[in-house]
């Protein structure tokens, strides 16, 4: 998608989150999973949100969830986003864990967004190191 390859408004990977963004660039949605208590952690951080241990592994969740809420952005907050507005951002509750709510652009034009809508992760490569997470209606 040209709109994405030309964009300059990008996340800034850091020590903790670099594997997350790099995996999305490769088309894979990964989350930190605790080797001790099996809790999932998002956003990326050095310790587990559940037990505060530091034995975290990057693993692939099912990548499905349901829409908890959403907003529609009309204001172009950066020049490269101007052509995207208005766009819908979904807040998705991941199937694996109720307190993981991940925002991402909702890309299904033909399915009206609503609370409880089943969606799946749609990674989008932007650079070699950075991909973005979008959501689309699950088929």
Partner 1 sequence: MTMDDYLESRWIVDPFRKFDCCLETDGAVAIVLVRADRAKDLPHRPVLVQGAAWGGGINAVNNGHADITESPAGPIAERLYAAAGLGPSEVEFAELYDCFTYNVLSQIEGYGFAEAGTVPGMLADGAFDRASGSLPLNTHGGLLSEGYMHGMNHVYEAVEQIRGNAGHRQVARHDVGLVTGQLGYVSGYSSAALLVGA
* CB contact at 8 A, 87 and 9: no
Tokens of 110: 């033909």
The one segment of 19-27, 51-59, 70-78, 110-118 that binds partner 1 by CB under 8 A: 70-78
CB atoms within 10 A of CB 8: 9
Of the candidate residues 34, 90, 92, 100, the single one contacting partner 1 (CB under 8 A): 100
**What is the H or E stretch that residue 3 is in?**
helix 2-5
Binding flags for partner 1, 80-99, as an x/- string (CB under 8 A): ------x----x-x----xx
Q: Which residues bind partner 1 (CB under 8 A)?
A: 40-43, 49, 68-69, 71-75, 86, 91, 93, 98-101
């Amino acid at each position: 998608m040209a709109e994405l390859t030309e964009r300059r408004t990008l996340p800034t990977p850091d020590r903790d989150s670099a594997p997350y963004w790099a995996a999305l660039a490769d088309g894979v949605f990964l989350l930190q999973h605790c080797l001790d208590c099996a809790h999932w952690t998002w956003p990326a951080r050095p310790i587990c949100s559940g037990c505060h241990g530091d034995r975290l592994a990057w693993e692939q969740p099912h990548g499905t969830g349901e829409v908890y809420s959403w907003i529609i952005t009309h204001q172009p907050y950066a020049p490269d986003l101007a052509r995207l507005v208005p766009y819908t951002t979904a807040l998705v509750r991941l199937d694996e864990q109720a307190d993981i709510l991940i925002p991402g652009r909702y890309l299904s034009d033909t399915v009206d967004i609503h609370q409880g809508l089943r969606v799946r992760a749609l990674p989008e490569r932007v650079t070699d190191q950075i991909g973005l997470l979008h959501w689309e209606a699950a088929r």
